[in-house]
């Protein structure tokens, strides 16, 4: 069935556009980059979504990453029901915050102190403010194509939805704020070194996705993260790893464990809330002691550390295991190799970047290793591929520049079904291209 066929989702989308900007609360959900009407989701369980028209899909969005155990695991939903019965928010400390903080630190030792917030955007904004407070400097280096939420300082050559919609620089960002944001090239240490030399003793922080996921999945080349660590130390700048996507996805200790590089500050989200709204920033004890009330750098949030998100995060982290990561890696390899083979068979150029349970197929002739090469991928071909997959019961991200996420609820059979759908879709694309 065509995803654009008018039904319950189409009716809801028409209603939504009369009350929500563009009909959505997060831009990429509008399907502007891929066309058609977005399915409105009624329910989900395991690896599958069901929309308001009753259509079922194998899901590779997984709420954009946090659902590493799949949708609505029964033990998690029971834990949340139990927590809800005791209250949803207190505006006061709870033992759950302490327990989750200790669980994060046990897995990620660089996080000596942690502050919970309500989103990844809050985490990155707060970490940047902390870096400026600790160094007395104003400027920050980010990387083209890396997305760190919608804070003003980060909407300069941003990835994710900004790239998807073709507006990487947002109106409304003050020029003075943009002037303090310096942009380097991902996987290019020389570009970072030049900025640090040109702005000597003025750079407060270098912020990076250690495993880029918002220009599509782009792993760091050997030596890149180690080089950032060295440059940050030599120039007395704070190294911030934005692990909102990679944290507990790349491995039990995040990308920093996987690549053996210890940042000064880490931003987290997604998985540590088990699918509920959450974020966190943490790191070196001396830096975190600048945060109020321990220090003078103010940051607060009424719902921060709320018992529902903390409960979901504790359950999610407690279920991580070497067996889970090994299984996800096998499924990720199976899917990546299957997509690549389907494209070769159809005679279509495709590069598949991946790490463990997250990957991106780029419609490109050449390898993708940074923002420039990512944006050369054929987004129009991805849009056709997306629509074909959706019509065949597969729900990939509605953007060329996002990651596909696997979960513990996915099986080899789900992946086989996905590869067969990809074969059929790519063959159809090739036939149409020959006409």
Q: Is the pLDDT of residue 297 over 60?
A: yes
Average pLDDT score, the chain: 93
- Torsion angle, alpha carbons of 140, 146, 151, 154, to 10: 40
Task: Give the pLDDT of residue 76.
Answer: 97
* pLDDT score of 1 more than 70: no
What is the C-alpha R_g of the chain? 21
Which residue, chain included where needed, has tokens 């006061």?
A: 92
- pLDDT category at 433 given cuts 50, 70, 90 is confident
Which tokens sit at 383? 């849009």
Quick one: fold of 74-318? Answer: 3.40.640
Give the mean pLDDT of 88-104.
97
Across the range 319-328, mean pLDDT stands at: 97
For 253-266, b where at least 16 C-beta lie within 10 A, e where not — what string?
bbbbbbbebbbbbb
d(CA 398, CA 385): 10
Question: For residue 159, what pLDDT is reported?
Answer: 46
Question: Whole-angstrom distance between the N-terminal and C-terminal Cα of the chain?
Answer: 23
- 242, containing H or E segment: strand 238-242
- Spell out the domain ranges in the chain: 8-72+322-434, 74-318
Q: How many residues does the chain have?
A: 435
Rounded Cα gap, residues 51 and 56, in angstroms: 7
Q: From residue 75, give the alpha-carbon distance in Å to each of 72, 271, 306.
A: 8, 16, 19
Average pLDDT for 293-300: 95
Cα–Cα distance, 129 to 292 (Å, whole number): 12
| Centroid of chain to Cα 145 | 12
CB 346 within 8 A of CB 388: no
Q: Cα separation of 433 and 426, whole Å?
A: 10
What per-residue confidence (pLDDT) applies to 6? 54
Contacts of residue 243, Cβ cutoff 8 Å, sequence gap at least 6: 209, 210, 250, 254, 255, 256, 266, 267, 268
d(CA 44, CA 63): 11
Q: What is the pLDDT, as a whole number, of residue 269?
A: 94
Residue with tokens 């949340």: 80
- The pLDDT score that the predictor gives to residue 2 is 41
pLDDT of residue 98: 98
Kindly report, residue by residue over 146-178, the tens digit of the pLDDT.
989 887 777 766 544 444 334 446 677 777 777
Q: Supply the pTM of this predicted model.
A: 0.93
d(CA 389, CA 393): 6
Pick the CATH number of 8-72+322-434 from 3.90.1150.10, 3.40.50.720, 1.20.272.10, 1.10.10.10: 3.90.1150.10
The band of 274, judged by pLDDT with boundaries at 50, 70 and 90, is very high
Cα dihedral 364, 366, 367, 370 sign: negative
Query: What does DSSP assign to residue 297?
Result: B
Q: Strand 351-355 relative to strand 139-143: parallel, antiparallel, unpaired?
A: unpaired
pLDDT digits (tens, 9 = 90+) for 55-81: 999 999 999 999 999 999 999 999 999
Q: What is the pLDDT of residue 158?
A: 53
pLDDT band at 313 (very low <50, low <70, confident <90, very high): very high
Assigned token pair, 51: 């929309």
**Residue holding tokens 């990720």?**
332
- Give the per-residue pLDDT at 262: 98
- CA distance linking residue 173 with residue 156, whole number of Å: 9
Nearest to 340 by CA among 354, 328, 351, 329: 351
Task: Write down the residue that tokens 């067996």 correspond to.
Answer: 323
Give the pLDDT confidence score for residue 112 in this predicted structure.
Answer: 98
Give dist(CA 422, CA 273) in Å, integer.
32
How does residue 179 score in pLDDT terms, banded at 50, 70 and 90? confident
Across the range 401-423, mean pLDDT stands at 98
| Residue 223 zone, left/alpha/beta (φ > 0; ψ -120 to 50; rest) | left
Choose the weakest-confidence range: 102-116, 121-135, 146-160, 369-383: 146-160
Q: Of the ranges 115-119, 147-151, 162-166, 355-359, which one carries the lowest mean pLDDT score?
A: 162-166
**For position 176, what pLDDT does the model report?**
75
Summarize pLDDT for 391-409 with one digit per residue, the tens. 999 999 999 999 999 999 9
Q: 188 versus 163: which is more confidently predicted? A: 188
The reported pLDDT for the residue numbered 163 is 42
Rounded to an integer, the average pLDDT of 103-108 is: 98
200 by Cβ neighbours in 10 Å (0-12 / 13-18 / 19+) ranks as exposed
Residue of higher predicted confidence among 157 and 333: 333
User: In the prediction, which pLDDT does 435 show?
Assistant: 67
Tell me which residues are annotated as active site: 147, 242, 270
Helix (H, G, I), strand (E, B) or coil at 64: helix
Residues 6+ apart with CB under 8 A from 13: 23, 37, 38, 40
φ/ψ of 389, rounded to 5, equals -65, -45
Distance from C-alpha of 143 to C-alpha of 370, rounded to nearest angstrom: 9
Task: Beginning with the edge strand found earlier in the chain, give each strand of the sheet holding 41-45 in spatial order.
Answer: 41-45, 48-51, 56-59, 394-395
Whether the per-residue pLDDT at 214 is higher than 50: the answer is yes
Give the integer Cα–Cα distance in Å for 55 and 391. 10
Task: State the Cα–Cα distance between residues 399 and 71, nearest whole angstrom.
Answer: 21
């Amino acid at each position: 069935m065509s995803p654009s066929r008018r039904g319950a989702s189409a009716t809801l989308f028409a209603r939504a556009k009369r009350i929500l900007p563009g009909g959505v609360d997060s831009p990429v959900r509008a399907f502007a980059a891929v066309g058609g009407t977005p399915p409105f989701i009624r329910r989900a369980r395991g690896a599958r979504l069901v929309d308001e028209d009753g259509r079922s899909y194998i899901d590779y969005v997984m709420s954009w990453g946090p659902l590493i155990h799949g949708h609505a695991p029964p033990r998690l939903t029971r834990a949340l029901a139990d927590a809800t019965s005791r209250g949803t928010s207190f505006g006061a400390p709870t033992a759950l915050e302490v327990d989750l903080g200790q669980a994060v630190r046990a897995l990620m030792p660089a996080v000596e102190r942690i502050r919970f917030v309500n989103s990844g955007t809050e985490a990155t904004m707060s970490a940047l403010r902390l870096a400026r407070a600790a160094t007395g400097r104003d400027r920050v280096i980010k990387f083209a194509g890396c997305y760190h939420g919608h804070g003003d300082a980060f909407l300069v050559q941003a990835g994710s939805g900004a790239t998807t919609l073709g507006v990487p620089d947002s109106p409304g960002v003050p020029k003075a704020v943009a002037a303090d944001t310096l942009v380097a090239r991902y996987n290019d240490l020389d570009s970072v070194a030049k900025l640090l030399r040109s702005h000597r003793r003025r750079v407060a922080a270098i912020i990076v996705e250690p495993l880029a996921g918002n220009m599509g999945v782009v792993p760091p080349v050997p030596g890149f993260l180690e080089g950032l660590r060295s440059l940050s130390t030599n120039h007395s700048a704070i190294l911030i790893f934005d692990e909102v996507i990679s944290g507990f996805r790349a491995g039990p200790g995040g990308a920093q464990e996987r690549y053996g590089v210890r940042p000064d500050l880490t931003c987290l989200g997604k998985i540590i809330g088990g699918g509920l709204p959450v974020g966190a920033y943490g790191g070196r004890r001396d830096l975190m002691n600048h945060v109020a009330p321990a220090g003078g750098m103010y940051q607060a949030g009424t719902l921060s550390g709320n018992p529902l998100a903390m409960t979901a995060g504790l359950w999610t982290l407690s279920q991580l295991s070497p067996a889970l990561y090994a299984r996800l890696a096998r499924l990720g390899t199976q899917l990546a190799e299957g997509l690549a083979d389907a494209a070769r068979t159809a005679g279509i150029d495709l590069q598949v970047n991946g790490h463990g349970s997250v990957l991106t197929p780029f419609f490109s002739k050449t390898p993708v290793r940074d923002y420039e090469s990512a944006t050369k991928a054929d987004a129009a071909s991805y849009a056709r591929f997306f629509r074909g997959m959706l019509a065949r019961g597969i729900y990939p991200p509605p953007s060329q520049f996002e990651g596909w996420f696997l979960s513990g609820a996915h099986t080899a059979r789900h992946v086989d079904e996905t590869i067969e759908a990809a074969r059929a879709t790519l063959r159809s694309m090739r036939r149409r291209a020959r006409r």
